[in-house]
Amino acid sequence: MTCFRRGLMAACLLFSTQAALAGQPVMPIKGDLIGHMATMKTRYEDTFADIGTRNSIGYLELVHANPGVDPWLPGDGTQITLPEQHILPDAPRKGIVINLAEFRLYYYTGNGVQTFPVGVGTEQNPSPLTKAKVTMRLESPAWYPPTSVRQEYQEKGETLPRMIPPGPENPLGPYALKLSADGYLIHGTNKKFGIGMQVSHGCIRMYNDDISQLVFEVPKGTPVQFVRQPVKVGMSGNEVWLEIHRPKEELDKATKDQLWQDVMQKMDKLLDAHPGIEFQRHAVELAVDQADGVPRLVGEQVRQMAQIHDKEPDSKPSL
């Protein structure tokens, strides 16, 4: 979904706090790993877009977690992996954190964290790596397309109105959160397809059910941080978990080499914080080779600090 670059989308400002709608649960934070992997069997009419909408999972998340399955015709009774387990991003656990590399938003509350799939900006119109705050909640927003977007339509021989009112043709969906980053929103959509992909002109697009829940839970002034972390490493108890997202559909050698460098840096940082970790090289290699966004157990902390006090400070175990 596109965002506006200037002009405020007129809408009804939500002055009252309404009860949160049933939707994504608040998960307690115990370590760095949240959620659980799940499976389901498809119905004959299912597509990955349908499954994603029903389960609040992004399109590419499903594609990468289910290699070899046709996303448009998976077939009746096909077992599908639902990637509902995630390592929390390496960022302050406060307010909203959006990891552009995995197309996912995390909202931290006093009781834990909620997570939602999102659509983000394209390579030509990327979402910003910035810090912002929620400044306004909008209901039934009207869309004022910026000049750049209207020009894109003109180049395709189409005319885009200066204002699109609320309704089924409005690409902002039923609700939006306006951010202090000029021209950027977190909003719904009038399209079934695109959540969990690079689809917008920079704004953050959500399933309508998800934004309908989130908009009533996030107060004005909530901090919002954008990060890009294709590699995430975390601890769950004494276990080490690794989650890798490939930036494009194909994993070429240059991208794989870059992911390896990122993995090594994250592993070194984890070792500094948790001495005594032993990694399983084969598991790490598999995670990099697949780069499918599925968290994998790749090691464990087998010795505590007291047991390794005499260890040489530069003798980190290698992969």
Q: Which are the catalytic amino acids?
A: 187, 203
C-alpha pair distances (Å), 108 with each of 14, 28, 85: 21, 10, 16
Residue 80's DSSP bridge partners are: 40
Output DSSP code: residue 308. G
Q: How far is residue 311 CA from its own chain's centroid?
A: 39
Alpha helices in 218-307 (DSSP H): 253-273, 281-290
Cβ burial of 178 (10 Å; 0-12, 13-18, 19+) is buried
Residue 35's DSSP bridge partners are: 85
CB 193 within 8 A of CB 53: no
Cβ burial of 40 (10 Å; 0-12, 13-18, 19+) is middle
CB atoms within 10 A of CB 79: 11
CB 246 within 8 A of CB 139: no
Cβ burial of 249 (10 Å; 0-12, 13-18, 19+) is exposed
